[in-house]
Amino acid sequence: MPFRLPHVAYWLLIVLATSSPVVAQAPVPPLLSGVTRIVTLGDSITQGGGQPGGYVWLLDRYLNAVYPAAPVTVVSAGISGQKAPDMQARFERDVLAAKPQLVTISVGVNDVWHSFRDFKARRDYPDGSLPNGVPLPLYVEKLEAMVVAAQAAGVRVVLLTPTPIHEDPASPENARLASYVKAVMALGARRQCTVVDLNAAMTRAIAAHQREAGPRVNVVTTDGVHLNAAGNQLVAWTILRGLGVPAAALATAALERPASVSGPRLKVLLDTDIGTDIDDAWALGLLMVSPQVELVGVTISDGDTAARAKVAAKLLHAGGRGEVPVAVGRATSLPDSVDYQFTWAEDFTAVRPVAQSAADFIVETLQRHPGEITLLAVGPLQNIADALRKEPNLGTLAKRVVLMSGSIGGNVWSPTPVAEWNVVRATTDAQLVYSSLPLTIVPLDSTSYVKLRADERARLEKHPAAVTRALEALYRLWIGDPTQQMTLHDQMAVAETLQPGAFFGRCTSMPVRVDDKGFTRVDPNEGKPVSVCLEPKRDAFMKFYVDGLLLAR
C-alpha cells in the first residue's frame, strides 16, 4: 500500500515542495555520490526516528525509492537524553566503527533543556539555572571534535540544527537554544560541512499553524519535543532536500505504510538471558521489527552477562537497530549448559553496551518515562530485583510488568507444577519481584505447548532480511539435532505485551507466591495477585508471530 501523509503533514510539506517537473529518476546528488551507509547520530529524537515511520526510517526508504540503483542503509545511532559530551565520547564506537561514508549529527536539545528541567525530580526551572545542561563553549568544543574526527576519517558530515524545545518560539528554552543554532551554522561554515536548518523549518511550520489554529495544539511533536508523524515527515524531507534530493522526486516516491503511523507505539524495555535457549533471540527479533513497538532498551541477566550482551548487541546491529541501548546486569554463577550462541558474537565490537548497569538503566529509563514503559522480563529476575532495591516504587513507574515465568499447573513435560527456570535460577530475586510488583505472567502451562513447525521455520528461513538470517544462524548453533524444535516461551510473553489477552483463552488473577525451592505456588493466604495467562491460542499466535517477523527488511 503506498505511504500517505497524515492530513496535517500535507500543508507542512508545502514549505518544502516545488513545482519542478516529475522525472523518472533523478541523478544522485554530489553529497550522496558513492554513499552506501549513513549513520544518524543524536538523542531520543533520533533514537525514535529509527522506528517505522520515524525520520531515520523515512530517510532510508526515500533514498532507496528515489535512487534504486544506488542502495543505501541509514542507521540510527540515537540515545535518549544525550548531550554533546556524551555523543563525542561514543563517536568512535558508534559512528566511525560503523564505517559510514556520511554522518548526520543532531545535538543541542538536551544541552539546553536539561538546564531548565530536572527530569528525576520532575521539576522545571524557568530561569535555566540547573547545572545539568552543557554551556555553549563546551557544546561547540565537543561538536567540533566530532566533525574533525569524521573528516579525518574521510566521512562527510551534515550538521542538523537542534529542533525547538516546546512549540513556543518565545519560550526561554528556545531563546537560549538560538545561540546554539547560530553556533552550529558558524561551525559548518568554518569546517566547510553541510548544515541543514531543522530549527528554522520546524519553527516556520509551527508559526504557520499557530496563525490559523492558535498555540494550544502541538502540530509537529507529541509533547513539544519528540516528533509525531507529521514532524518526522517534515524533518526527513528537510534533511533530504539539504542532501540535494529534488522535491519532485520525493513527492512521487511510494513508500510502504508503517502500521505504527496511525497511533503511538508501545514503549518496551526487554530484560533477557539471551544466548542459552533460542527463544530469547527470536523474541528480541520480533520486538526489533514490530511497528507497534518503541524498543527503549535491552538489559541482560544471568550467568555470563557480558557474553550475552554481545549476542544482543550484534543482533540489534545486524538488524539495523544498533541505536537500541544494551545494559549489562551482574554476572552470576554459570549454567551447566554450553552456550554455542555466544560464539556468534564473541568477536563483535562494532556496538558496545552502555556504561550503566542494567538495574540503573531500568530505574532511570522508567523514571524518565513514568507510566509509559512496559517492562518485559523473559529471563531470571536478578535485574528486576536489583532495580526494585534501588527504586521501591518501580511498580508505579512501569506501565505494565510482563514475565515469561512460573509453572502453575501441568505442562507438556509434567502433569504437575515444576520449578521453572527463570524462577529457580534466582529464587530470592523472584520472591522479591513476585511480592512487590503488579505482574502478568506467561507460564510453562501455556508456552510449553507452542513449538515452531518445520514449515514455519522454512518461511522465515527464505525471507531475505538481515534479522531473519541472523535468527536462523543462531538457531543452527542452538539445535542439538535436526529434529529439535524451538518452544516459543519468550515470544508468547512478547505477544501478550503487544496484544494483551489476545492469544490466550483466559488470563486469570491468582494469589501466587514463590517458595524457597523456586515453585510458583497458588496460595490464598500468602500469595499476591498475579494475572496468569492460560490456554494458548497456538494458531492465532503463530500467525501473529511469523507475519510479524516477515515485516523485517
- My answer on whether 237 and 298 are in the same domain is no
Q: How many CB atoms lie within 10 A of CB 526?
A: 11
Does residue 120 lie in a domain region? Answer: yes
- My answer on whether 307 and 198 are in the same domain is no
- My answer on whether 110 and 185 are in the same domain is yes
> What is the torsion angle, in degrees rounded to the nearest 10, for the CA atoms of residue 280, residue 416, residue 504 and residue 438?
-70
Q: How confident is the model at residue 50 (pLDDT cuts 50, 70, 90)?
A: confident
- My answer on whether 229 and 323 are in the same domain is no
- My answer on whether 240 and 272 are in the same domain is no
pLDDT at residue 16 in the model: 45
pLDDT at residue 338 in the model: 75
Does residue 106 lie in a domain region? Answer: yes
Pairing of strands 373-377, 504-514: unpaired
Range of the domain at 345: 265-549
| Domain end point (choices 250, 275, 303) | 250
| 233-251: pLDDT as tens digits | 999 999 999 999 998 888 8
Overall average pLDDT of the 116-134 stretch: 87
Overall average pLDDT of the 501-516 stretch: 94
Overall average pLDDT of the 451-465 stretch: 91
> pLDDT > 70: what percent of the chain?
92
- My answer on whether 97 and 243 are in the same domain is yes
Does residue 25 lie in a domain region? Answer: no
- My answer on whether 142 and 227 are in the same domain is yes
pLDDT at residue 25 in the model: 62
Q: How many CB atoms lie within 10 A of CB 384?
A: 29
* 87-91, 213-217, 294-298: range with lowest mean pLDDT: 213-217
| pLDDT: which is higher, 362 or 21 | 362
pLDDT at residue 2 in the model: 33
Q: How confident is the model at residue 213 (pLDDT cuts 50, 70, 90)?
A: low
Pairing of strands 326-328, 373-377: unpaired
Overall average pLDDT of the 333-351 stretch: 89
Q: How confident is the model at residue 326 (pLDDT cuts 50, 70, 90)?
A: very high
Vertex 205 angle, CA 204 and 208, to 5°: 85
Residue 31 pLDDT > 90 = yes
- Spatial contact of 313 and 274, defined as CB atoms under 8 Å apart: no
| Domain end point (choices 200, 217, 250) | 250
Does residue 26 lie in a domain region? Answer: no
Q: How confident is the model at residue 118 (pLDDT cuts 50, 70, 90)?
A: confident
Residue 333 to residue 303: CA distance in whole angstroms: 5
Domain count for the chain, please give it: 2
Q: How confident is the model at residue 100 (pLDDT cuts 50, 70, 90)?
A: very high
Residue 293 to residue 301: CA distance in whole angstroms: 22
DSSP letters for 298-351: EEE-SSSHHHHHHHHHHHHHHTT-TTS-EEE----PPPSS--GGGGGTTT--SS
| 154-173: pLDDT as tens digits | 999 999 999 999 888 889 99
Residue 553 pLDDT > 60 = yes
Q: How confident is the model at residue 297 (pLDDT cuts 50, 70, 90)?
A: very high
Helix segments in 417-482, DSSP class H: 421-424, 427-436, 444-447, 454-461, 466-478
- My answer on whether 178 and 273 are in the same domain is no
pLDDT at residue 128 in the model: 92
Residue 1 pLDDT > 50 = no
Residue 287 pLDDT > 50 = yes
| 521-546: pLDDT as tens digits | 999 999 999 999 999 999 999 999 99
Q: How confident is the model at residue 18 (pLDDT cuts 50, 70, 90)?
A: very low
Mean pLDDT of the chain: 90
| Domain end point (choices 223, 250, 277) | 250
- My answer on whether 176 and 213 are in the same domain is yes
- My answer on whether 350 and 482 are in the same domain is yes
Q: How confident is the model at residue 207 (pLDDT cuts 50, 70, 90)?
A: confident
Pairing of strands 293-300, 156-160: unpaired
Residue 218 pLDDT > 80 = no
Does residue 24 lie in a domain region? Answer: no
- My answer on whether 285 and 371 are in the same domain is yes
Residue 216 pLDDT > 80 = no
Q: How confident is the model at residue 26 (pLDDT cuts 50, 70, 90)?
A: confident
Residue 253 pLDDT > 60 = yes
Overall average pLDDT of the 387-402 stretch: 96
Does residue 29 lie in a domain region? Answer: no
* 165-179, 215-229, 308-322, 364-378: range with lowest mean pLDDT: 215-229
- My answer on whether 306 and 232 are in the same domain is no
- Spatial contact of 266 and 293, defined as CB atoms under 8 Å apart: yes
Residue 268 to residue 296: CA distance in whole angstroms: 6
Q: How confident is the model at residue 257 (pLDDT cuts 50, 70, 90)?
A: low
pLDDT at residue 268 in the model: 97
Residue 21 pLDDT > 50 = no
* 38-47, 330-339, 344-353, 499-508: range with lowest mean pLDDT: 330-339
Q: How confident is the model at residue 214 (pLDDT cuts 50, 70, 90)?
A: low
Residue 120 pLDDT > 60 = yes
Assign residue 323 the CATH number of its domain: 3.90.245.10
